[in-house]
Chain A
Amino acid sequence: MNARSLFIPITLVLVLGFLIGPFLIIVAASFSAGETLNFPPQGFSLRWIAKVFTVESFQASFAMSLFLAIGGTAAALVLGIPASYALSRYKLPGAEIVRTVVSAPIIVPGIIVGLALLRYIVVPFQVGITLALFVAHTALVLPYAVRVVSASLDNLRSDIEEAAVLLGSSRLGAFFRVVMPNIRGGIMSAFILGFVTSFNQVPVSLFLSGPGVRTLPVDMIAYMEIVFDPSVAALSSLLAFLSIGIVFAAERFLGFSRYV
Chain B
Amino acid sequence: MFQNRAEALALALPAALFAAAVFLVPVVILLSDGFRSSAGGWTISAYTDFFSNSLNQTVFLRTLKLGALVTVVSAVIGYAAAFAIVSLEPGAKGRMTGLVVLPLMISPVARTYAWIVILGRTGIVNQAFQALGITEVPLRILFSETAIFIGLLQLFLPLMIISLISALENMPKDAIPAARVLGANWFQVFWKVVLPLTKEGLVIGGTLVFTGCLTAYITPAILGGSKVLMLETLLYQQVSVSNNFVSASVIAFILIVMSFAANILLKRVATARNKMRSRP
Contacts and interface: CB of A to CB of B under 8 A. Distances in A.
Contact of A202 (B16, B83, B106, B109): B109
Main secondary structure of the interface of A (DSSP, over half): helix
A224 interface: yes
B24 A203 contact: no
B77 A117 contact: no
Interface residues of B, number: 74
B138 interface: no
A109 B14 contact: no
Contact of B11 (A83, A104, A240): A83
A253 interface: no
B259 interface: yes
B109 A221 contact: yes
B114 interface: yes
Interface in A211-232: 217, 220-221, 224, 232
Contacts of B83: 11
B23 A243 contact: no
Interface stretch (A49-57, A134-142, A182-190): A134-142
Contact of B239 (A8, A37, A207): A207
B124 interface: yes
Given A15-B80, A16-B100, A112-B256, A26 B157 contact: no
Interface string B172-215: 00000000000000000000000000000000000000000011
B11 A91 contact: no
Interface of A: 7-8, 11-12, 15-16, 18-20, 22-23, 25-26, 29, 37-39, 79-80, 82-83, 85-87, 89-93, 97-98, 101-102, 104-105, 107-113, 115-117, 119-121, 135-136, 138-139, 142, 146, 158, 171, 196, 199-200, 202-203, 206-207, 217, 220-221, 224, 232-233, 236-237, 239-240, 243-244, 247
Interface of B: 1-5, 7-9, 11-12, 14-16, 18-20, 22-27, 29-30, 77, 80-81, 83-85, 87-88, 96, 99-100, 102-103, 105-111, 113-118, 122-124, 154, 157-158, 161, 214-215, 217-218, 221-222, 232, 235-236, 239-240, 245, 248, 252, 255-256, 259
A-B residue pairs, 4 tightest by C-beta: A236-B110, A22-B114, A90-B8, A116-B26
